Amino acid sequence: MKIKIFRYLADLRFAIFILLMISICSIIGTIIEQDQSIEIYKLNYPITNKLFGFLSWETIIQCGFDHVYKTWWFICLIIIFGTSLSTCTFLQQLPTIKIARRCQFIRTSETFTRLKISTVLTKRTFTKIISNIKLGNYSLFQQKNLLYCYKGLTGRIAPIIVHFSMILVLLGTIIGSIGGFKSQEIVPKTESFHIQNIFNNGQLTNIPNISGRVNDFWITYTPQKTVSQFYSDISILDTKGNEIKRQTSSVNSPAIYKGLYFYQTDWNLVGLRIKYENNQIVEYPLINTLNNKNKVWLTWISTSENLTNGFIAIIDNLQGYSSIYDREGKFLGNLELNENFTENSDIQLVEILSSTGLQIKSDPGIPIIYTGFFFLMISTLISYITYSQIWMYQKNYQVFIGGNTTRATFEFELEFFNYIK
């Protein structure tokens, strides 16, 4: 009973079926947004207008389609597929290699006709062909008038390495799913932060007890005044506030500390610091009236104590200036950093206060997944090694010779004819 179960698991058709199920689940996880709030699903998948005629937000929540890759049934599919690969390796692939190493003599002339290439020669060529085959780096086994040769046995282990690499990838996927997390932090420049706004985590996630500080945030621009890159200077702090590591994070180049990745994902402007003629510095908050769809902020800068007189400051960049408008929307000029607004005004823009958006991510399965892909590349190279076999059988005054190969059939035919010509 156990043997039948294992052989059923090792069956290629069963493995393809499970892989198809995993693919379908992955497609669902790609189409439906993952790890979003229930309000987003209610808005995008209403009951009155179901996707594909049956998929609504209630179905998505009940079936776990909002977090497909962390559901118990998806993890079970991965475990079953990994078990199928393991049983196939032990029940089929490893015995195949053992059989390939054995002497497999052909004792009947009829069998040669079923080989990919075969011919019949005269008796006097038997020993001469053996000498030629030895020069081709074949392993030879002879028993009186029977000869068996093979080479390229290393190429036979490529499927085993493929299975091993796929199991590593699946294992890394499970570990990352149940042990990783994602956090989003919006941190003003020069302020400290903790890992607390977690929006995606696994069942066995362990949040590290560390904190950080954003030392600086800046944006570089192209000559055409478009954004070139965003940068955040980040310090990792221990529990006593001492700096452990300092690194600059930018888009597509995260800061890394012990498996934690600090990605640059967003930015914001929070205020302007204005200096008046009496050296008084006032901080004015910036407001984004477009709900962050466009990076444009504005504030009211007062020129009187009762706040009734003043002008509007609008800013959409970190290039060191703010555009100034009056009550009627008339453009008055630009307020530059550390410069007076006009000759008769002592109002100066001292600092533009900014904040950076950091996504903190941990995926403990990544090293295992990368190791799996490394072995997969190794198996691809090994698979190019051709496994070739040659048989000879001498009967009376005739020599039957034939061969098989796993790939590169044309090259094998040329090699074969060189041995017998």
Question: Tokens representing 416?
Answer: 């074969």
Amino acid occupying residue 56: S
- Quick one: tokens of 178? 């149940």
CA distances from 63 to 69, 147, 176, 242 (A): 12, 62, 21, 46
Confidence (pLDDT) at 293: 62
- Average pLDDT by consecutive 10-residue portion of the chain (421 residues)? 79 91 90 84 83 81 87 91 90 82 82 88 78 87 89 87 93 90 91 88 85 92 88 90 91 91 91 86 85 78 79 89 88 86 76 92 93 94 89 86 88 88 78
Structure tokens at 414: 């040329």
Q: In what order do the strands lie in the sheet with 297-302?
A: 297-302, 310-315, 321-325, 331-336
The answer to whether 162 touches 243, Cβ cutoff 8 Å, is: no
Enter the CATH code of domain 103-152+386-420: 3.30.160
Radius of gyration of the chain measured on its C-alpha atoms: 35
Domain ranges of the chain: 2-92, 103-152+386-420, 178-268+358-364, 269-353
- Please tell me the predicted confidence (pLDDT) of residue 290: 65
Distance of CA 347 to the CA centre of its chain: 51
Residue 202 confidence (pLDDT): 82
Helix then strand count (H, E) for the chain reads 11, 19
With beta carbons less than 8 A apart as the criterion, state whether 388 and 152 touch: yes
Tell me what pLDDT residue 291 has: 60
